[in-house]
């Protein structure tokens, strides 16, 4: 069993001299996540080892276990990141989000998905029977966060009907992404336009 009582400072064993950098706790954690995102984007969970994850972050397996407990814990944390939408300037300024800003929001999100197709397709696949319950829980938590975020961003009335519309929209999002990344029936630009127009239509309907 790895010693998880404290982080290892012996990163020299993890890579070449250019990667042997002492980092503080937050930076080290971010470095591990960055390496994990890249590896899990390229290969499924079973195809990535803890040794490879540590090497990708320029650290040791002891540090990996210290910050995330297990390879499984690290994987679930990577998946959680995909349940979050990027921040919008309008949110920080406290003003309503317009069509152009909403389009930029989806453009930035789709850019991330394009770099990590294996990860997002894993999450979309959690709706299938017999799927991984832990991954499904992460996916469901992400969908609930989407509901709250989109209602706030678009200043929608928060009631059961609005939330049902957002959940229906989320189902369309998953289908559109699968058509783009897996089926190649839609382009990224088409998906961006579809998501933007559909969500704006929902906002207009709720406002009536």
Per-residue pLDDT of 119-148, as tens digits, reads 787 777 655 545 678 888 888 888 888 888
Question: How confident is residue 1, by pLDDT bands cut at 50, 70 and 90?
Answer: very low
In this model, does residue 14 exceed pLDDT 50?
no
Could you read off the pLDDT of 98-124 as tens digits, one per residue? 788 888 888 988 998 888 887 787 777
Could you read off the pLDDT of 148-198 as tens digits, one per residue? 888 888 888 999 999 999 999 988 998 999 999 888 899 999 999 999 999
15-18 long-range contacts (CB < 8 A, ≥24 apart) are 15/55, 15/58
Separation of CA 150 from chain center: 16
CB 206 within 8 A of CB 162: yes
Cα–Cα–Cα angle for 161, 165, 166, rounded to 5 degrees:
120
- Which residues 6+ apart lie within 8 Å of 120 measured at CB? 82, 113, 177, 181
Of residues 3, 24, 28, the one with CA closest to residue 14: 28
CB 30 within 8 A of CB 66: no
CB 53 within 8 A of CB 33: no
CB 90 within 8 A of CB 153: yes
For 1-129, strand residue ranges (E) read none
DSSP string for 171-199: HHHHHHHHIIIII--S-HHHHHHHHHHHH
The three-class DSSP label of residue 36 is helix
């Amino acid at each position: 069993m790895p010693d998880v009582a404290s982080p290892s400072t012996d990163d020299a064993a993890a890579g070449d001299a250019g990667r042997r950098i002492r980092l503080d706790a937050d930076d080290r954690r971010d470095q591990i996540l960055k390496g994990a995102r890249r590896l899990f984007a390229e290969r499924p969970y079973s195809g990535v080892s803890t040794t490879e994850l540590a090497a990708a972050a320029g650290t040791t397996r002891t540090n990996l276990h210290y910050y995330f407990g297990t390879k499984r814990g690290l994987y679930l944390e990577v998946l959680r990141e995909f349940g979050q939408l990027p921040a919008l300037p309008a949110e920080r300024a406290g003003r309503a989000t317009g069509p152009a800003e909403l389009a930029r929001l989806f453009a930035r999100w789709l850019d991330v998905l394009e770099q990590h197709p294996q990860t997002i397709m894993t999450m979309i696949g959690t709706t299938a029977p017999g799927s991984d319950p832990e991954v499904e829980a992460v996916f469901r938590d992400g969908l609930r966060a989407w509901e709250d975020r989109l209602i706030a961003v678009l200043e929608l009335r928060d009631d059961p009907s609005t939330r049902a519309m957002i959940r229906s929209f989320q189902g369309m999002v998953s289908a559109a992404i699968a058509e783009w990344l897996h089926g190649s029936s839609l382009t990224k630009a088409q998906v961006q336009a579809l998501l933007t127009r559909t969500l704006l239509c929902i906002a207009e309907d709720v406002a009536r």
